[in-house]
Amino acid sequence: MHATISQTVVEADIDVARPLTPGLVAELADACDRVEDAGGGRVLVVRLTGSKDAPAAWPGPAQVHLVGKWENALRRLERLDALTVGIVAGRCNQACLEVLLATDHRVAGPGTTLDAGTRTDGMWPGTALYRLVQQVGLATARRLVLFPGETGVPALHAAGVLDEVTQDAGAALAAVLKRAADSAGTEPALRRRLLLDAGTVSFEEALGSHLAACDRALRRIDLTEDGK
């Protein structure tokens, strides 16, 4: 894994063409560490590289405690106070899908294939299933999960799991970074949490969280005005 920081953009290259190992968990955690240590207006770009051959069944011969650590790393990625971009290339298995689902913007580069149905017993029952329902709805998630041959790049793009399928991933990334810079948004983690909560809590429960977020934003405006 190679990671660099350029201004406020953290880039991490992660090879997911391998079974789940402590090293893979550590690489994802390291990417999170780096973006948390960076300055404001942060963006994390996670480049996921698959294999040249047919992808192996995920997660391989792992123990459940290691699966738990992987899930915690994904949850940490999902809750970062930074915009996150996932870029996938190569022949990928469910590991790519699990990471992509925890990012804010997902791009598939040229020649990418993604097959989450590499196991003989069906799609791996990790929290990717939970995120799929949250993000694309039960009906679409049911089709993707119970018929894992449907998890190719075109189907994932049509379902909204992939935001872009492009022949020029570099240009797509540059456009996303420009949009992120132009928006000048703060606290993406707060807004992301409010969006995620919308699918699981009632309006009455959500209202308090939204009002607290509004109060926080208004206080920030007041501080900005006072500083002029």
pLDDT at 102: 97
pLDDT at 4: 43
Q: Over the stretch 172-187, which tens digit does the pLDDT of each residue have?
A: 999 999 888 776 566 8
Q: Distance between CA atoms of 86 and 204, rounded to whole angstroms? A: 34
For the entire predicted model, the pTM comes to 0.87
Residue 222 pLDDT > 80 = no
DSSP notation for 41-103? S-EEEEEEE-BSSPPPPSS-S--HHHHHHHHHHHHHHHT-SSEEEEEEESEE-HHHHHHHHTS
Which range of 102-106, 133-137, 145-149 scores highest in mean pLDDT? It is 102-106
pLDDT at 122: 83
Q: Which two tokens stand for residue 143?
A: 């089709």
pLDDT at 185: 60
Query: Greater confidence, 101 or 55?
Result: 101
Q: Over the stretch 198-210, which tens digit does the pLDDT of each residue have?
A: 888 899 999 999 9
